[in-house]
Amino acid sequence: MKIFLDMVGCRLNQAEIEQMARQFRAQGHEIGASAAQADLVIINTCAVTSQAAADSRQKIRHAARAGAKEIIPTGCWTSLLPAEALVLPAVQRIVTNESKDRLVADLLGLPAEEFDTEPLSRAPLPGLRQRTRAFIKVQDGCDNACTFCVTTLARGSSRSRPAAEVLADIRAAVAGGAREIVLTGVHLGSWGQDFSKPQPLRDLVQFILAETDMPRLRLSSLEPWDLDEDFFSLWSDSRLMPHLHLPLQSGSASVLKRMLRKTTPESFLALVAAARVACPQVAITTDLIVGFPGETEAEFDETVRFLNEIQLAGGHVFTYSARPGTPAARLKNQLPLDIRKRRNAILREVLAVSSQNYRQQFVGQSLPVLWEASSELTERGWRIEGLSGNYLRVTAFAPAPRWNQVDIVRLNALAGEVMQGTIQKVDL
């Protein structure tokens, strides 16, 4: 059977479809590059925003129009609105998040234990979901109660994977040629807290670094209240990539309080300062929500001033959308869409300026770059593109494609959001 796997949303969804691919391959099935060529299509959906929910529905419809014989939606949107998913074209059944980890075993009529043996080496997914980096799921669910978030409803309470299981997946990725591992979860920083003997995330990171020779390890999104200054000592190992994504959501203390976020602008600022002392090159990015119910102009201005002060390396700005079932959807003073969109544009511009300031300081320096794509062949050679450890997007020219290779690159100039570089040393 040929299976096409696709997704909308976060790195965790990518990690999950990569795991499904390994399980299907272990049973002799083929992973295809498009829905048109597949006997079965599985789409891992998202519901974090109304746009993500719309994108999930669109993915399913596109697959049906491409000629997919059978589509199985899974993931957050499917779990929250199963009846809506079931009436979409070519959908004969759904799998909710509760059963997602058993999706392949149940579909093939096999016991779950069948997949407990040493996994096949990882092979990157074909098509648009191909990634050089291997996304490894270490945790699922969330016990936080942020008033805007629908993920807890869709994913349930926090659950950690044992370190030995995580290590097995990483070794499979290394055997498959992955040069970078990304640890991911809904609430990554809570890893280990649900064990009978609780462990901090630091233990898992140290374990992975000690037990593997993985050249590059990266952490996905971390809630700021899960970290302390000692956590940043992990970056003494150069294999841990100098990038932290710390969702803030607002620079206003009063808005954060209404969101039930367990942080304040002051504590966030102190955390960022500590990270920069421990790792001066670190890129710190964030998530922000604009137009949260009741957000006044004065509160929004607090966020603008805070961002101008903290000077982050980048971030994502989301226009607040009420998610059914969340406490924030029931709050009074839901703001008009035009106000939310205007504030979104302002914050994106503030982040664009600080992001350019961050990139500019690396012009003239040399950094390792993992090449992720090769485009057209030009008179100067193949134009290749990749990411540095601190998440700078870099382009250069090479005599041949360099996909999934790590080179030392001199960063010569900044063109928009992309660093233009010259390869100094190849094949690290």
Per-residue HEC secondary structure of 206-250 comes to: HHHHHHCCCCEEEECCCCHHHCCHHHHHHHHCCCECCEEECCCEC
pLDDT for residue 117: 55
Which residues form the domain of 394? 366-425
Q: pTM to 2 decimals?
A: 0.90
**CA–CA dist 149, 151 (Å, integer):** 6
- Cβ-count burial 63-78 (b if 16+ within 10 Å, e if not): bbeeebeebbbbbbbb
Q: What is the CATH number of the domain that holds 408?
A: 2.40.50
Give the ranges where 4-89 is alpha helix by DSSP (H): 11-26, 50-65, 76-80, 82-86
Whether 386 is covered by a domain: the verdict is yes
Residue pair 32/61 in contact by the 8 Å Cβ criterion: no
Element holding 286 (H helix, E strand): strand 283-290
Distance CA 368, CA 407 (A): 5
pLDDT reported for residue 104:
93
174 close to 208: Cβ distance less than 8 angstroms: no
Residue at 348 is within a domain: no
Q: Is residue 408 part of a domain?
A: yes
The number of folded domains in the chain is: 1
Q: Is residue 398 part of a domain?
A: yes
pLDDT at 152: 86
Instruction: Establish if 388 belongs to a structural domain.
Output: yes
CA 307 to chain centre: 22
Cβ-contact 387, 406 below 8 angstroms: no
CB hemisphere CA count around 185 (13 angstroms) = 24
Q: Is residue 186 part of a domain?
A: no
Do 49 and 8 form a contact (C-beta atoms < 8 A)? Answer: no
Compute the half-sphere exposure of residue 329: CA atoms within 13 Å on the CB side of its CA: 10
What local confidence, expressed as pLDDT, does residue 11 receive? 86
Residue 318: helix, strand or coil by DSSP?
Answer: strand
Task: Write down the pLDDT at residue 424.
Answer: 93
- What per-residue confidence (pLDDT) applies to 229? 82
Does the residue 413 lie in any domain?
Answer: yes
> What does the block give as tokens for 204?
């898992």
147: Cβ–Cβ under 8 A, 6 or more apart, which residues?
258, 259, 260, 326, 327, 328, 331
Tell whether 409 is covered by a domain: yes
Q: From first to last of the 428 residues of the chain, give the pLDDT tens digit.
A: 999 999 998 889 999 998 898 899 888 999 888 899 899 999 999 998 889 999 999 999 999 999 998 999 999 999 999 999 999 999 999 999 999 999 999 999 988 766 665 556 666 666 555 567 899 999 999 999 999 999 888 999 999 999 999 999 999 888 888 999 999 999 999 999 999 999 999 999 999 999 999 899 999 999 999 998 889 999 999 999 999 999 999 999 999 999 999 999 999 999 999 999 999 999 999 999 999 999 999 999 999 999 999 999 999 999 999 998 999 999 999 999 999 999 999 999 999 999 999 999 999 999 999 999 877 889 889 999 999 999 999 999 999 989 889 999 999 999 999 999 999 977 65
Cβ atoms of 70 and 90 closer than 8 Å: yes
